[in-house]
Amino acid sequence: MADYDVAIVGGGLNGTSVARDAAGRGLRVILLEQADLGSGASQASPRLVHGDLAGLERREFFRVRRALRERDVWLRIAPHLVRPMRFAIPAHADERPPWQLRSLLLLYEHLASRSGLPRSLTLDVTHHPVGNALKRPFGTAFEYSDCVVDDSRLVVLTAVDAAARGAEIRTGARVTRAERGETWRLVAIDRGYRRVITTRSLVNASGAWTASVAERVLRVPAPQLATVQISQIVVRRLFDCDNVYAFQNSDGQLIFASPYERDFTLIGSVSHVFKGDPAIVAMDVREVAYLCEAANRYFREQISPADVLRTISGANSVVAAGRRMGGGAASLDYRRGKAPLLTIFGGDVTTARRRAERAVSEFTRFYPMTPRWTATAPLPGGEFAWQRFETEVDIARDRWRFLGEDQARRLVAAYGLNVRDVLGDAKAKADLGPAFGAELTGAEVRYLMRREWARFPDDILWRRSKLGLTMPQADRDALAAFMAKPD
């Protein structure tokens, strides 16, 4: 008998979502990720959980409605990670007439009718905080509701839930060879050791590596795919209000500027066809300049490439015909006497849960499994209603009185109700062990190492949090020394 029912190559959002779905349906699952969870394209998404307003202009009404339903699902199951925001579209004289935008927003709201999010408004930005950061002569902006997500934490908590339901998650485990018979026999280099695994079916969720894994590791015909890179920039905070600004640049490209980790602004995104090693994805200087210019067209505060504190880039596979990340794709290859192979790649964050659900359902013709379940089961720590987020922050501050407001908000956003497992019975900050920077404590680092597969400082500083944006070098060094000997 094979060791597992399903082995998954790749620990991005697609791979972890398949692992979670399959483990919860009673299958024996292993996920192998060559680096860290969410270290590929899944940490470089535009961080939006949305129906995609622009989809309405392309008349993709059913797709937009489906995505809006998924937005509601995420708000229900991940109220700590997925946060409702007010998006503002300043009306620019050169662009589409205001009545057209207003009608689009009304239709968008109609399609999202059960969401419970605040409705859209027309703002006079000459007398509204949204206008403070904008250049003159913006007089009007349209405000509507959508959501943002911490994408790499979403990947990690999806893996935590998969593990809680029995999946084995291995990071630092690269699949190097596979032989296909009635079962699959995989060879992986797992933290330096060669490991052989047998599995009844295999899922190729290796993102930008999909074609090369197919060809070189699985030795099956590679799907016809192109690779596209997406990039964003982080600058110091450009505005004080909590809105996400959505701009249509002069070339028609939609640009978002979002509040990012309290003191910063995330501006994106740009994409181009990528050639090269997906493990080394760097942003082009022309793209950095492009995003700065796009922001300068709207904001009073002007930025140049020298103001960019960080660039965020990732590459993923797309169907060769299209440059844009379409709906993502999943396909099953099954032949008599040959174990099944499912390939899943691309797509957006909003529809990842459903994409995985449909993909795993393909296996029902091979194995008995329990019904679909992921739309109603909260991710770890997400057992509260999204409207109660601020209440949960207050509860945390009441219980751990040494927490500052910002720190409490960060912890609740990252761990939800599981913040109690991170802080335990601590009465004072000193009870949480050494401090790294203003916020990170030994207790949190130990928790991330024991429960969330963190192995190196970057796993914590960039994927399980974004504390790397503010942590001084001396504290990073201390963190590295602590992680080498955490107990």
Residue located via tokens 């020394």: 481
Q: Six-digit token pair at 70? A: 């998924």
Among 4, 5, 6, 10, binds ligand FAD (CB under 6 A): 10
What type of residue is 325?
M
DSSP-assigned states of every residue in 20-41: HHHHHTT--EEEEESS-TT-SG
Task: Pinpoint the alpha helices (H) of 238-351.
Answer: 285-296
| Binding range to ligand FAD, per CB under 6 A, among 74-82, 112-120, 344-352, 443-451 | 344-352
* Residue 9 is a binding residue for ligand FAD (CB under 6 A): yes
Do residues 310 and 337 lie in contact, with contact meaning Cβ atoms separated by under 8 Å?
Answer: no
CA neighbor of 421 nearest in space, from 405, 434, 410, 432 = 432
Shortest Cβ 443–ligand FAD spacing (Å): 28
Residue 10 or 90: which CB sits closer to ligand FAD?
10
d(CA 178, CA 213): 10
* Residue 311 is a binding residue for ligand FAD (CB under 6 A): no
Among 158, 183, 206, 374, binds ligand FAD (CB under 6 A): 206
Write the burial class of residue 195 (CB in 10 Å: 0-12 exposed, 13-18 middle, 19+ buried). middle
* Residue 343 is a binding residue for ligand FAD (CB under 6 A): no
* Residue 14 is a binding residue for ligand FAD (CB under 6 A): yes
389 Cβ contact partners less than 8 Å away, ≥ 6 residues apart:
79, 80, 83, 412, 413
x/- string (CB under 6 A) for ligand FAD, residues 353-392?
----------------------------------------
Shortest Cβ 459–ligand FAD spacing (Å): 12
Shortest Cβ 373–ligand FAD spacing (Å): 21
Shortest Cβ 175–ligand FAD spacing (Å): 4
* Residue 11 is a binding residue for ligand FAD (CB under 6 A): yes
* Residue 85 is a binding residue for ligand FAD (CB under 6 A): no
Q: Six-digit token pair at 455? A: 């192995």
What type of residue is 482?
F
* Residue 239 is a binding residue for ligand FAD (CB under 6 A): no
Shortest Cβ 311–ligand FAD spacing (Å): 14
* Residue 32 is a binding residue for ligand FAD (CB under 6 A): yes
Q: Six-digit token pair at 53? A: 């307003």
Among 228, 257, 312, 460, binds ligand FAD (CB under 6 A): 228
| Binding range to ligand FAD, per CB under 6 A, among 29-37, 59-67, 124-132, 431-439 | 29-37
Shortest Cβ 285–ligand FAD spacing (Å): 19
> Residue count at the site for ligand FAD (CB under 6 A)?
39
DSSP-assigned states of every residue in 228-263: EEEEEEEEE---SSSPEEEEE-TTS-EEEEEEETTT
Task: Pinpoint the alpha helices (H) of 174-241.
Answer: 210-212
| Binding range to ligand FAD, per CB under 6 A, among 78-86, 289-297, 346-354, 477-485 | 346-354
| Binding range to ligand FAD, per CB under 6 A, among 35-43, 113-121, 379-387, 400-408 | 35-43
State how far the alpha carbon of 61 is from the alpha carbons of 65, 94, 430, in Å. 6, 26, 54
> Which 38-77 residues touch ligand FAD, going by CB under 6 A?
39-42, 45-46, 48
d(CA 177, CA 213): 9
462 Cβ contact partners less than 8 Å away, ≥ 6 residues apart:
43, 152, 468
Residue 354 or 446: which CB sits closer to ligand FAD?
354
End-to-end alpha carbon distance in the chain: 39
Among 209, 299, 447, 462, binds ligand FAD (CB under 6 A): 209
Q: Six-digit token pair at 191? A: 């933290």
CB 440: neighbour CB atoms within 10 A?
Answer: 24
* Residue 271 is a binding residue for ligand FAD (CB under 6 A): yes
> Which 398-437 residues touch ligand FAD, going by CB under 6 A?
none
Shortest Cβ 306–ligand FAD spacing (Å): 26
Do residues 2 and 183 lie in contact, with contact meaning Cβ atoms separated by under 8 Å?
Answer: yes
d(CA 236, CA 219): 47
Q: Which residues bind ligand FAD (CB under 6 A)?
A: 9-15, 32-35, 39-42, 45-46, 48, 174-175, 205-209, 213, 217, 228, 230, 271, 314-316, 325, 345-346, 348-350
